[in-house]
Amino acid sequence: MTQTEEFTEPAVRSRPHRWPPGDGVGVFHDVRQTGHPEAGSLEARLAERYLAALAAGEAGGHPPECWRPLFQYRHHPGVRPVQFALAGLHAHVAHDLALAVVDVCRTRDCEPAALEGEFERVGDLLASLEERIHDELMPGPDLLRIADPLTHLVSTWSLERAREAAWTAARVLRQLRGLPSPAEELRQQTDAGAGLVVRFLLTPCR
């Protein structure tokens, strides 16, 4: 079984979790909760991919590469909550979103263009999530020192660019559906590239 298949079927149900204070995985999971999307929708497939990665990481398995730094650094005292949240959001957008689009295209036997409306709606939800992260987890100006590295890390990440890259990756992966080797190579590169950004976002800042 390839990694692409491993995180596609079946749908994974969310279970209650209790994390100790400051656990980086728990920080992202708490802000990620967005209700109960309609079964089979792009939003549902996106949530399923995240929950599959979460289940694998919590069980000591092998989640996608982009999610591994979040589990590795989850207790690092130098990483702030806003970093954990943005790192999880990047893995979710740059990796999970692209593959969720491919999942839905496969199920509905359609091209990504048919999902543009859903993609935009999911993008709006992710933008709201990013805004919540900034509002709830970003330290106020009185707590940030001049030239604080956290300000640099946060300002260099762009949700819009991550979404655009996910859409491009999904379109290419769909075109490669009859060529499993190139498709898997691209999927791995997408995963690895997302993982590099996640590691950057988790750079200790204190």
Higher pLDDT, 138 or 200: 200
- Condensed to tens digits (0 to 9), the pLDDT of residues 62-118 reads 999 999 999 999 999 999 999 999 999 999 999 999 999 999 999 999 999 999 999
The pTM (predicted TM-score) of the whole model is 0.86
Q: Which residues of 62-90 are buried (b: 16+ CB within 10 A; e: fewer)?
A: ebbbbbbbbbebbeeeebbbbbbbbbbbb
In contact, 137 and 32? CB cutoff 8 Å? no
- Condensed to tens digits (0 to 9), the pLDDT of residues 6-45 reads 333 333 334 445 788 889 999 999 988 767 888 899 999 9
